[in-house]
Structure 1
Amino acid sequence: MAALLGLAFLPAGVIAMQAGLSAVSERQAGFQQSVGAQEALVVGELREELIQLREMARTLAANASLFVDDARVCNDTLVDLGERFPNIANIVVIDASARVRCANHAAAVGQHIESPLVETATSAGRSAVGFVRSPVLSAMPVFAAVAPTSVGPRSWNVGVSRAAQPLMERVAQVSSQRDTYSILVDGQGQVLVRFGMPLSRGDERELTEFLREGATTWSGGAFAIGSSWAVIAPVQENALYLLRGWRPAPLTWSERGEIALALALPLLLWLIAVAAAWWAVEVYVARPLSVLEDLARAYARGQTTYGEEMLLRGAPMELASLRRTMAAMAKTLSGRELRLAEALREERTLLREVHHRVKNNLQMMASILSIQSRSAEDEAEARGLARANERVHVLAIAHTHIYASGEVHEIALDELAAEIARTLVGSRGSDVRLKSELEPVRAEVDEAVAFAFLIGEAVCIALDATPAGKGAIINLALKGVSEGAIFLGVTSPDADTVAPTASSALRLIQAFARQLNANVTSCQATPTLIEITIPPAAAPAPAPAPAEA
């Protein structure tokens, strides 16, 4: 029962555990979102640094008229600025032919600059800020800002650059995470440069798939990339993005305890629910049903067990009502059984009385016929009365076998034939010997009287045809043949021709044979006196179906 209840509540337990895991996952995701918000500050810090870089370029461009006309003054000015701002990598003035006119580093003077930032600033007439992967004036990637000057008609630009890696390391100090990485990508998802911890192959594959989707699908919140989390935000809208990633810190013991509690609590609740359901089913269903089963067995035996009935006092109302209904039903059935038993006893008593009276009446008739046959003066009259007496005896024997034996549906035909033959041979007082070959054969009770008269008349014909005083033999055969038919044969090797006085007996045999649908195959031949084949009784026709309304 407990196993079945456990299986029944298993989906609820699984759902509860999933809810616990979901709660833990959501809590972890919420924590990572808070970390992502902190990491987004790194992007803001980088954006501020680039704004300052652009403002520096704009300021120099706006005041270029103070120093660009004299190359020496221009170089000295830019060198002085480079010393005042040591984090600036290069400060240059680019003429209309894209060559460096002056710079804070003498080696840069005269270099030809080919950069999209310079082209943008020249063509658009406004400042441009961006990332340069392979700068001409530096061996490392830089962030650069270019601003056009307003010195006469000349299309000159002021460029300011800053090394990317030191800048990224400085802005990353805003983050409190240890294992981090920074990746600069353009608006098409192309990686420009990366700094920080390396990624595994699986994480790298997921990152590539994420960046391939393009800037339009990048959300502002934190998201998982393999075993790490990341946040991406624009440094320059649709042009430059910074992806900051970090590996979650190992779980503390308190966090592990919270996760274990989140998993164990639903499981504990599931076990409690199973135990409570098992207890309720056992106390309020299983035990009362077991008591009801014992009560039903006791009621079936006609017993009343008040002790077990008391066990149902705490059972649910439905089961207690069922117990009362069963008790009332058992009481009703017991009363009906008593009435049926009484009626059956009365019926049996009446049947015995009827049998006794019928038997007495037949004996009285036989006695009267016997007295009349002895006092008859005419031999034919005496013979007729004697035959009537024998037929009454045959009927009495059949009646005894039908009622006294207690048979209801079938009768033992072999026993009936044996008793009739012995009675008739014994009543003649002759020295005729009877040989019987009787097999166990049974017939319907309704056919018992016809069978009895067939046997009796056949034996009487044989006795009349057998000469007295010679120790003659009469053979009586009864057996079952094919397909349920019955064969009856009465023969005598010492018999004479059947006497004409046997004509009435032959007519009776024919009459009873027709009643049984029997076939009389031999009736007057010697030494076989009579052979009868009786077919099996036809099955009763089925009752007609009631007519539909």
Structure 2
Amino acid sequence: MSMAALRRLTGRLGFRITFLLALALLPLALLSAVQTISLASEAQSRAEAAILGDTVRLAAPVLQHLLRAQGAAATLASAIAKVDNDTARCSEILSRFAQANPLYSMVGYIPSDGLMTCSADGRTHDFANDPGFQDAISDPNPTFEVTPKGAVSDSAVLAVISPVTHRDGQRSGIISLAIPQHALEVSQAGIKTATGIPNSLRLFTFDSGGNMLTSTNGIKADQGYLPVDRSLKALAGHRSTAFTGRDALGRKRIFAVVPIVVNKLYALSSWPGDYGRGTGMLSQLPPIVLPALMAIVSLFAAWMAAERLVLRHIRRLRHAIRAFASGSRVVPVKGRGHAPLEIAEVEDSFERMTETILRDEADLEDAVHQKEVLLREVHHRIKNNLQLIASIMNLQMRREKSPEVKAIMKNLQDRVMSLATIHRGLYLTSGVSDVRADELLAGIVNQVLSISTTEERSFKVHTDIADILLTPDQAVPLSLLLTEALTNAMKYAGGSHDGAQPELEVTLAREAGTGAVLRLSNSLPGTGASPTAPLADEPSGFGSHLIRAFAQQLEGTVRTGIEDGRYLLELHFSVTPLSRGEASRSSAGAGVEPDPRPPGGLIPGVAPAKKV
């Protein structure tokens, strides 16, 4: 995601509301998570404690067998102490006991020399080199040992040993009772009866050296249910313990270790990992999942509430505002009845604002239209008045007898008609605050040509005028300058040569920045002949004086000369920004009357008339 898209996402109101609500809910979510984890831990501890109790209950048969065997071995030791030298009598006693107690796989008396000649089944065996016998004969107390492979039975047995002591305190040997492995195993049926759980529970017995004695379904079959990270020897200790871990097959299991005889015999139970957590689907989830789901649901509910109560109304209002800003003036705000009171008040304010703006726009359009009509009417009347003055001058010229006076009046009449032409162009062009140069100047060129062209004297004119927007303060002097220069160009263009028409060229083009250049040239086409006179009067002439005055008003520079066989007039000036023209008209509307004339009057050297 790009940074712009990320900023747009994080800048949305819905995101910010959701984020703030998330911050507000964060302490509750953390507290809920801590409490859930604490409850889960407490439930786990209770389950482990319950498992310890169940393990003790499951190991009770083994303990009972052991206690019975210890009692029986002590009784037999007392009886054998009286007849230990009588092998026949000893064997008879042991044989009767074995017949009454078929649990034991071997019942025998082993004297101190290790050669067993007295046994329940009449077998003999030499234990002199057996390490287990050496330990037992040297221990004055009753004991037992786990033997993975019995010397007589050749199978795993639990040997219960009791010393044979005479009345004089002398020990003559030991009584050994061997309980086979299968007699100590607890079946699946017994486990289910005791715990009520499925047959996935396993119970093991082992000694302090880590030697496994019994298993529920056999040692080989149940190897996969032992803890993978702890050995049986490491689990042997003085206290009962329970822990959760993985078995050899990677399954989560709960293990409990209970000492049956401390430092001798232990019981290990392997329970399913979900024991005590219920059977529902939710009980199988990690403790942190439920608080996380609650937080997500809360945030979603908050986002939906913000969407329903705020965001959709704001989007509707934003759409209406954008439509109004883009120019649409029919902007209905739908669905207001369902919006909250505060947003409904904002929508009402927006509608009142749009109504006020529409009324103001209508008033402004009326005012602008009236101003435009009035301004065009002013230009039209000025044009009519100037034409009337030109007609009066024409009547006066007819009465004059002096050719000099007629020539002077003719020049004045031409300039008056030029002014009339300019005002005609101003009220015919589009716009009030700005004037299109291509519309105004093209019309002036055509008007001057129509006045000055006769059947004996016609011109071929090429125009290329850019669509530059001018303020009226620049349009008027530029038009006057073009009229004066065009009149002079037509006046001095010379007569026809072999039927060819004199050529005039008028161009207005943009320059770098806000600059513009007006070019006007005259020549005779086709012959290469030069015009009979310059483009304008002599520098001291009245026409040149006017051109320089108009250029000064435009703050431009005028250059005249010959270029490529053509006489050229070139005006460089800067186009005034329309904002300055609007500012000047605003100041005039505020009561400040702008002076349309250049500094020092329209013509340099002639002071402006005083205002009365």
Query: Normalized against structure 1, the TM-score is what?
Result: 0.73
Q: 1:287 to 1:199 in 2, by over 3 A?
A: farther
SS at match of 2:206: strand
Task: Determine whether 1:496 maps to 2:523.
Answer: no
Task: Determine whether 1:476 maps to 2:501.
Answer: no
Q: 1:413 to 1:377 in 2, by over 3 A?
A: farther
SS at match of 1:439: strand
**Aligned sequence identity (%):** 19
SS at match of 2:123: helix
Q: 1:166 to 1:454 in 2, by over 3 A?
A: closer
Alignment-derived partner of residue 134 in structure 1: 149
Alignment-derived partner of residue 220 in structure 1: 242
SS at match of 2:112: coil
Alignment-derived partner of residue 475 in structure 2: 448
Report the Cα distance in structure 2 between the residues aligned to 1:469 and 1:434, rounded to whole angstroms.
Answer: 9
Task: Determine whether 1:85 maps to 2:128.
Answer: no
The residue type paired with residue 111 of structure 1 is D
Q: Deviations over 1:202-230 (max 9, x none)?
A: x7286443436821798336876456765
Task: Determine whether 1:434 maps to 2:459.
Answer: yes
1:517 to 548, 557, 578: 557
Task: Determine whether 1:59 maps to 2:97.
Answer: no
**Structure 1 position 236, deviation (Å):** 2.6
Alignment-derived partner of residue 532 in structure 1: 569
Report the Cα distance in structure 1 between the residues aligned to 2:424 and 2:83, rounded to whole angstroms.
Answer: 155
Q: 1:243 to 1:29 in 2, by over 3 A?
A: same
Alignment-derived partner of residue 382 in structure 2: 358
The residue type paired with residue 130 of structure 1 is E
Report the Cα distance in structure 2 between the residues aligned to 1:93 and 1:439, rounded to whole angstroms.
Answer: 139
CA contact (8 A) 1:180 1:196 kept: no
**Structure 1 position 489, deviation (Å):** 1.1
Q: Deviations over 1:12-59 (max 9, x none)?
A: 9xx99xx99xx9999999989867744542212212221222233233
Task: Determine whether 1:196 maps to 2:196.
Answer: no
**Structure 1 position 329, deviation (Å):** 1.6
Report the Cα distance in structure 1 between the residues aligned to 2:236 and 2:358, rounded to whole angstroms.
Answer: 88
Unaligned runs of 5+ in 1: 250-254, 544-549
Report the Cα distance in structure 2 between the residues aligned to 1:261 and 1:207, rounded to whole angstroms.
Answer: 24
Q: 1:233 to 1:413 in 2, by over 3 A?
A: same
CA contact (8 A) 2:425 2:443 kept: no
Alignment-derived partner of residue 547 in structure 1: none
CA contact (8 A) 1:37 1:221 kept: no
**Structure 1 position 191, deviation (Å):** 3.6
Alignment-derived partner of residue 149 in structure 1: 164
Alignment-derived partner of residue 436 in structure 2: 411
CA contact (8 A) 2:257 2:267 kept: yes
Report the Cα distance in structure 2 between the residues aligned to 1:104 and 1:370, rounded to whole angstroms.
Answer: 169
Report the Cα distance in structure 1 between the residues aligned to 2:320 and 2:500, rounded to whole angstroms.
Answer: 71
**Structure 1 position 432, deviation (Å):** 0.8
Q: 1:159 to 1:200 in 2, by over 3 A?
A: closer
**Structure 1 position 477, deviation (Å):** 0.8
Q: 1:330 to 1:476 in 2, by over 3 A?
A: same
Q: 1:381 to 1:148 in 2, by over 3 A?
A: same
**Structure 1 position 243, deviation (Å):** 2.7
**Structure 1 position 132, deviation (Å):** 1.1
Q: Higher helix share goes to which structure?
A: 1
Unaligned runs of 5+ in 2: 1-13, 194-198, 581-612
2:206 to 170, 185, 205: 185
**Structure 1 position 383, deviation (Å):** 2.0
Task: Determine whether 1:423 maps to 2:448.
Answer: yes
Q: Deviations over 1:394-431 (max 9, x none)?
A: 22322332343124434334762564465366357572
Report the Cα distance in structure 2 between the residues aligned to 1:461 and 1:431, rounded to whole angstroms.
Answer: 18
Q: 1:467 to 1:286 in 2, by over 3 A?
A: closer
CA contact (8 A) 1:179 1:197 kept: no
SS at match of 1:332: helix
Q: 1:510 to 1:330 in 2, by over 3 A?
A: closer
2:364 to 340, 353, 372: 340
